[in-house]
Amino acid sequence: MSDFPTSGVATPPPPATHASPLYPLRLTINGEAYTLEVESTVSLLDLLRDRLQLTGTKKGCDHGQCGACTVLVDGRRINSCLTLAVMQQGADITTVEGLANGDALHPLQQAFIAKDALQCGYCTPGQLCSAQGLINEGQACTRDQVRELMSGNICRCGAYPQITDAVMTVLEEAQGPPDAPEPSPAHWTPGTVPA
């Protein structure tokens, strides 16, 4: 006789016999100290969203492809879906909830509003944290560099020009006036080919 069930009803999985071990974890998140115990397999993203209810950080792909889950760890931007929470022992983490200073929005948040840099807003928390990480890195000066270095943050609404505008606004304020003005475009007459 066959051992396989003959009905169409799925057999429930056997009850787990071993609970996963918990590991102590100390983190500072948005300036607040946390003492936690987590399984070794919990991602930082799931810890933030599911255990600490910091749901501002978004889960898009859960595979490091979209940037929606970007947070700052010790000032550096990372995809929180790609790191295990226990790997961040002692880290200082900033999520989108920690950007504003009380009721005063972060300059990037103000710029995103002023430049209309969002539509549905799902990518926005990751864009904001990534932009702050970009500014911290000090590698971007131009629009092209901002576009390149923010290319890991996907916006399905296609708000890229406005996002770049917003980031450039804050970047230029952070960097101060440029040493040398950018060369102005050559004068040319419409309908002719510039020399």
Q: How many residues lie near ligand FES (CB under 6 A)?
A: 23
Between 61 and 114, name the residue whose CB sits nearer to ligand FES: 61
By CB under 6 A, the residues from 164 to 193 that bind ligand FES are none
CA dist 124 and 133 (Å) reads: 14
**Is residue 64 within the footprint of ligand FES (CB under 6 A)?**
yes
Structure tokens at 169: 């606004």
Nearest to ligand FES of 100, 120 (CB atom) = 120
- Site for ligand FES, residues 90 to 149, rule: CB under 6 A: 118-124
Torsion of CA 119, 98, 43, 150, to 10 degrees: 50
Q: What are phi and psi of 191, to 5 degrees?
A: 95, -5
**Nearest distance in Å: CB 65, ligand FES:** 5
8 A C-beta contact, residue 34 and residue 90: no
DSSP state of 48: I
Binding site for ligand FES (CB under 6 A): 59-62, 64-69, 79, 81, 118-124, 155-157, 159
